[in-house]
Amino acid sequence: MARGVRAFIAIEVPAEVQEHAGRLIQRLRVSNAKVKWVPQEQLHWTLKFLGEIDLNEVPEICAAMSAAVGELAPFDVEALGAGAFPDVRSPRTVWIGMGRGSEETIDLHGAIERSLAKLGYRTEGRRFRPHLTIGRVRNSPLGIPELGKLIEQNAQFEGGLSSVFEVTVFSSELGREGPTYTPLAHVELSGR
């Protein structure tokens, strides 16, 4: 019997951008808000959360992704700005935004959504906004105004530029120390 895993599709983030993000996290961490900060080596631009999948489905998912992204050309993305969902006054998710490359990333996301919908994966109802999740705020009012101010002070954060040549299917295993992400497959953007 095949094994099931939680899986998602993402763009990997190079070490240089991770280091910039780590410095931003250090600046935000001084608030006494209860936040579960994402380790910098786990940062990624999520394109689609697949949920629980059977490992036997990975080749089919990769074929659908290849069909979706194979014609798209590689492009650059810029980690730019800090913010929070739903907003800085009541942050639940703290993120780094995307400057350059956001339109290409939205197109990439749309192509993956349409291709995976043919395999029965639900499409996202809300508009896709590329972002790097750097922290999840715990249910506590402690330090929230201070955290919101720090996020606003870093709204112009510059996290660096990186090139997108491929998308990656990751598995996510939850452990006591948090999730462990393992690449299952890479799909190249091979358009011109």
Q: How far apart are CA 20 and CA 65, in angstroms?
A: 30
Q: Of the residues 20, 109, 131, 186, which is catalytic? A: 131
Residue 156 in tokens: 């112009």
| Three-state SS letters, 10-61 | EEECCHHHHHHHHHHHHHHCCCCCCEEECCHHHCEEEEEEEEEEEHHHHHHH
Q: For residues 112 and 47, is the Cβ–Cβ distance under 8 A? A: yes
**Amino acid of residue 26:** Q
Q: How far is CA 14 from the centre of its chain?
A: 13
Q: Of the residues 20, 44, 109, 186, which is catalytic? A: 44
Q: Are strands 158-164 and 131-137 parallel, antiparallel or unpaired?
A: unpaired
109 part of the active site:
no
- In this structure, what are the phi and psi dihedrals at residue 39, rounded to the nearest 5 degrees? -55, 135
Residues carrying an active site annotation: 44, 131
